[in-house]
A and B are shown apart, each in its own frame.
Chain A
C-alpha cells in the first residue's frame, strides 16, 4: 500500500498517480460537486449575514443579496451541468475559442468598461448586471494553455515515428508560445489594473507549466522574472498609488489603520473576534456593524471567521482542500490535455482561495479578489461553475 497508488478500488488514497492510457469513462465526481455546492451554500449564508443589516438600515430588502447570490448559484449550476455533459475531447476544438473569446472580453473592457474600486474591469450589461471578463479569462488561459501543450505534443508524436513519452518536457518553442498565451491576458489584466486577477492568472499558468513538465530552469527563471517585474513595477511607478499603498500597508500593517490597511485591520478584528466557535450566525458585531468594507465580496471570509469561529473558517479551508484533492485526482486520471486543464483549475482555485483568505488573515496583501464559490459576484460564480463542469467533463471523458 502506498500513498501514491491509484487504484479504482482504493478511491480515497491521497495522492493521485498516473493511469495508463486506456481507461473507461466514469461518472460525475459527486464529492467534488458536494464540496463546491457546500462552499456555495456557505457563501450564500455568509453573504446574507454580511449584507442584511446594512440593507435594512438603508431601507432595502435584507435578503436581497441572498436571493441574488442564490440566483447566481443556480445559473452557475446550469452552466456546470451543461459543460460537464460535453466531451472533454472537444476541448481541442473549443479551447482556442474559449481563450480568444475571453481575450476579446478583456479587450472590450477598455472600450466599454466601468471602474469599480479603482479597477477598470467590468462591463455593464444594463441595469445591475455587470460582467467581469477577467474571471472568464482565468478559465480561458487554463484551457488555452492545456490545448496548446496537448496539441504540440500530439503533432510532434504524429510527425516523428518514434513514440514520444507523453510526459516529455515541452520544447522551447512550446514554452515560448505558452509565454505569449500567458503574457497577453496578463498584460491586459495588469493594465485594468487588476493585480489580484493577474496573480491568479500567473498562478494558474504556473501550475499548468509545472504539470506540463516544463524544465525546472524555465519555471525557476519565470519565477525570478516575475519577482523582478514586480520590483520594477513598484519602484518604477507602474502600479497605481493605491496598489503600492496596499502592499506597504501589508508590510507595515499598524501604520495606517484608516487608509489602505483599514480593510485588513477590520477583517482581522472580525476574525479574531470569532474565537473557536464564533459569535453565531447574524450575531457578529463587527459584521453587523458594517465595519468591514467589501465584506460580501473580497472580505466574505471574515464573516465566517467572526460568526463561525475557527471551526467555520477551518471547514471552509477544508472544503477547498477537498475540492483541490478531487481536482488533482481527476488530473491524475486524465490524459494530457484534460490533466493540464484540471491542474490549471486546481491551481487557480487553490491560489485564489489562498490569496483571498490570506489577505483576510493578514498573510497576503489586499487585492480585489473574490473567494471562489463563496463571495458574492456573478462573473466569478459563473466562471467557477464552468470550471467545475470542465473538471467533470474531463473526468467523464
Chain B
C-alpha cells in the first residue's frame, strides 16, 4: 500500500484531525443507534401528552331554617366576572387593552386587575390569584347587570372574560339572628391542614351555627375534569370524569324567626328607650327558650352585625369597624358568650340553697333591715330600702330584699370557717348549689366552645389558687399604681384593690359570701345560663345542655339526624322548694313582686312570673335584668309549668323593673297575642319538625374560587358559565 505521493507531516496532521472528527461522528451514530433501538430501558413520557386537571365545583352550603321551615340562611346566585389569563396573554398586546376596558367598567385600574389575575408565588405578592393557574380568575363578584350586559353584548371586546353565575351563602333577613347563625369565611391554610378534603374553593363556617354545623352544611364538592395541554391551557373537557356537587344538608333550628325578630326589635327599642332616659344602655341580650325541652327559641344580642359582610371575604375596613374599641363589640353574642353579674336574679340559687340546706325555713320570717354589718363592713339594701317587719322568703324574693339573704350567707360562711379551722372541708353550700345550676361551667350549647361563657363564682379554693398564681403581679401593681388609668377614682380603686389582693388576696371573706348571695362580687352568668337555671326551676330541676339545632335534613327531605337537648344534671333542690320560689315570683302577686308593675293590668299578668335583677358594676351604671317565665299552667299534681323562659338583660340601663321589665313585656305581648295574633302559633314552642322540601337537583358548571354555580337559578339569557375562549387572535 505505497502512496504515490510522499506522505508528509502535513498529511499526518490531517489524519489526526480526520480520525478525531470521524470518531466523533461514529460515536454519535453509535449512541443514537443505542438510544433509539438497543436501549432496554427506554424512557417514556409518563406525564402523557396531555394531562388532566381538576376544577373544583364547590358545593352550595346547606340552608339553615327556623322551627317552622323558614329560611334563615340560604344561597343566592350572583354574577361573577372571571378572566382567563392565558387567553389574555395570547393576545398581541398581552391583554392590556382588554384589562383597560374591564377596569373602566369595574371602576378599577388595569394594573390592579393584572396583579389580581397573576398566580401567587414567592415573587408575586398579594393581590394575586391563589387558585390553579388554569382556572379563570374572578375579578368582580356581584357584577351589576350593567356590567354583565356590557361584557356579554361586546364579547369581541372582552376575549377571555366570562360571566359565571355562582352561589354564595345569603342571609335574607339581614342581621336577624346574626350571632347564633354566625358567618362564613374563605378556606385558610390551617383549615386545609385540619381537613384535607377542603379546597380553596370552599367556604367554611367561622362562627356560630355555621361553624358548629360546618360539616353538615358544607356538602360535597363536585369536580370537573379538563384535559390540559402541557402549556396548561384547557384542551378539552373530559367526559365522564365530572361529578356534580352535592349541596350541604339543611339544618333545622328551634329558632322561631318571628320570636327572634320580636326579641331583637324589643331589645333595640329598649336600648333606645333607656338611652332616652339618660342611661348609657351600651348593650343587651334576650334569650327565649323552652324550659321543658332545653331548646332555644330566640337569642338576641345588641349591638349586632350583618354576617353578609363576610361573604366572599370581609373587607379590611368593615372588619376594622366591627372590631374597633368604640364599636361595642358587635361580634360578641352577649346572650350566650357574655357574662355579667346576675344581681338579684341569682336569688333563685341562693334561696334554693338556703332552703335545701335548712338554713332558712319556708314558714319562717327574717329581718330585712336597710343595712347589715358583716366583718365590720356595712352592706345595704338597694337604695337602702328597709322593711320594718320581718319578711317571709316569699316576700324577700318578691321585694328582692338583699339584707334578708346576707345573714344566712354570712352564717354559712362562719360555719365553714369553723370547719376550716378544725381541719375539715368547708361545705360551701351556696357554691355547690350554684355549680349545680350550671354556674362556672360552659352551658354545652351547640355553638363553638369559644362562643359560650361559663360564668363564675368565688370560693376558697379558687381564690387561693388565683392568689398564688398572681400575687407577685398584685404586689407590683399596688406598688406602681395605675399611672395609665386616666380616671382618678378608678386609679385609686384599682390601686387599693391591688394592695388588698397583694396581702389578703387569698382570703375568702364573709362579705364575699354575702355578695354571692345577691349575685354580686365575682358572680357572673350569661343570660343563657340564667335561662337554664330558671328553666330548671320550672321543669323539676333539670339542667339542659341547650340546643339551637333541631334536625339535619338531607337533600331528599329526609331527616338524617334529630338533635335533642340532653339533661346534664339535676339541681339538688326539692320540687316543692322550686315550686315555692316560682309561686313567690308570680306576677299575679302584683306589687309584691318587683318587676311586675310593667305587667299590672295586662290580660296575662297572672300567667307570668319573673325575678328582676339590678346588678351593680363598679364604674358603670346598673345592669338591668329580668328572668321571667310564662304562660304559667299547673299540672295534675299542682306543679307550675311555663311554656317559655325569657331572660332579658340591658347593660347600664338601671333597675330590672325599668328596662328589662318593659323589654320583655313587649315579647310576651307577641308570644301571647296580647295585641293581635300571637307571633308563635298556640303561644307555645313548636313541637313538630317542619317539612323540608327536597333540594332541586343542582347542575353545576365550574366555578371560580369560593362561590358555586347554581345551575337552576341561571337566567335563560345569561352568559354560558363554562369558561370560553373568545377571539383568540392570530
Contact = CB atoms under 8 A, between A and B. Distances in A.
B14 A57 contact: no
Interface residues of A, dominant DSSP: helix
A54 interface: yes
Interface stretch (B22-30, B546-554, B676-684): B22-30
A6 interface: yes
Interface string B222-258: 0000000111010000000000000000000000000
Contacts of A339: 10
B233 A350 contact: no
A232 B29 CA distance: 32
Interface in A307-336: 309-310, 313-314, 317-318, 320-321, 324, 328, 331-332
Interface stretch (B36-44, B692-700, B716-724): B36-44
B45 A357 contact: no
B688 interface: no
Interface stretch (B1-9, B60-68, B399-407): B1-9
Max chain A C-beta neighbours (<10 A), residue from B20, B24, B37, B89: B24
B730 A59 contact: yes
A361 interface: yes
A210 B13 contact: yes
Contact of A285 (B7, B10, B25, B49): B49
B21 to A, nearest CB: 4
B28 A357 contact: yes
A288 interface: yes
B327 interface: no
Contact of B21 (A290, A291, A350): A350
B11 interface: yes
B32 A4 contact: no
A358 B28 contact: yes
A389 to B, nearest CB: 21
B198 to A, nearest CB: 27
Max chain A C-beta neighbours (<10 A), residue from B20, B28, B233: B28
A5 B5 contact: yes
Interface string A210-225: 1111000000000000
Contacts of B45: 266, 269, 273, 285-286, 289, 291
A269 B5 CA distance: 50
A2 B11 CA distance: 14
B577 interface: no
Interface string B347-366: 00000000000000000000
A364 B729 CA distance: 41
Interface in A148-184: 165-167, 169
B14 A343 contact: yes
A314 B32 contact: yes
Given A274-B36, A363-B28, A58 B10 contact: no
Interface stretch (A10-18, A38-46, A72-80, A189-197): A10-18
A369 B280 CA distance: 82
B192 interface: no
B233 A310 contact: no
A166 B10 CA distance: 9
Contacts of A324: 21, 25
Contacts of B44: 269, 272-273
B449 interface: no
A32 B47 CA distance: 42
A250 interface: no
A146 to B, nearest CB: 14
B431 to A, nearest CB: 66
Interface residues of B, number: 48
Given A17-B7, A273-B44, A363 B231 contact: no
A240 interface: no
A213 B3 contact: no
A55 to B, nearest CB: 10
Given A211-B17, A289-B229, A310 B36 contact: yes
B50 interface: yes
A60 interface: yes
B439 to A, nearest CB: 62
B10 A213 contact: yes
A260 interface: no
Given A15-B18, A61-B730, A317-B28, A291 B230 contact: yes
Max chain A C-beta neighbours (<10 A), residue from B17, B89, B91, B230: B17
A71 B522 CA distance: 91
Contacts of B9: 165, 167, 169, 213
Interface residues of A, number: 66
A268 interface: yes
Nearest to B51: A289
Contacts of A331: 14
B728 interface: yes
B10 to A, nearest CB: 4
Given A17-B5, A59-B729, A275-B36, A351 B17 contact: no
A347 interface: yes
A361 B31 contact: yes
B3 A272 contact: no
Contact of B14 (A59, A211, A274, A351): A211
B28 A361 contact: yes
Contact of A332 (B14, B16, B729): B14
Contacts of B231: 54, 57-58, 290
Interface string B86-101: 0001110000000000
B229 A57 contact: yes
B571 to A, nearest CB: 68
A343 B31 contact: no
Contacts of A286: 45, 49
A302 B10 CA distance: 38
B470 interface: no
B90 A2 contact: no
A165 B13 CA distance: 15
A331 B35 CA distance: 34
A2 B4 CA distance: 8
B16 to A, nearest CB: 5
B25 A210 contact: no
A346 interface: yes
B25 A276 contact: no
Interface in A193-212: 207, 210-212
A272 B43 contact: yes
Interface string A44-70: 000000000010011111000000000
A317 B29 contact: yes
A210 B16 contact: yes
A191 B24 CA distance: 28
Interface string A271-289: 1111110000000011011
A167 B43 contact: no
Interface of A: 2, 4-7, 15-18, 54, 57-61, 165-167, 169, 207, 210-213, 265-266, 268-269, 271-276, 285-286, 288-291, 305, 309-310, 313-314, 317-318, 320-321, 324, 328, 331-332, 339, 343, 346-347, 350-351, 353-354, 357-358, 361-363
Given A16-B14, A207-B20, 7 more contacts: A57-B90, A165-B9, A166-B10, A271-B35, A275-B36, A276-B36, A285-B45
Nearest 9 pairs of A and B residues by beta carbon: A59-B90, A354-B24, A167-B10, A272-B42, A285-B49, A350-B21, A289-B230, A310-B36, A361-B31
24 contacts: A2-B1, A5-B3, A17-B3, A18-B8, A211-B14, A212-B13, A213-B9, A268-B43, A272-B36, A272-B44, A273-B44, A291-B45, A305-B32, A317-B29, A318-B29, A321-B22, A324-B25, A331-B14, A343-B14, A346-B17, A347-B17, A347-B20, A354-B24, A361-B32
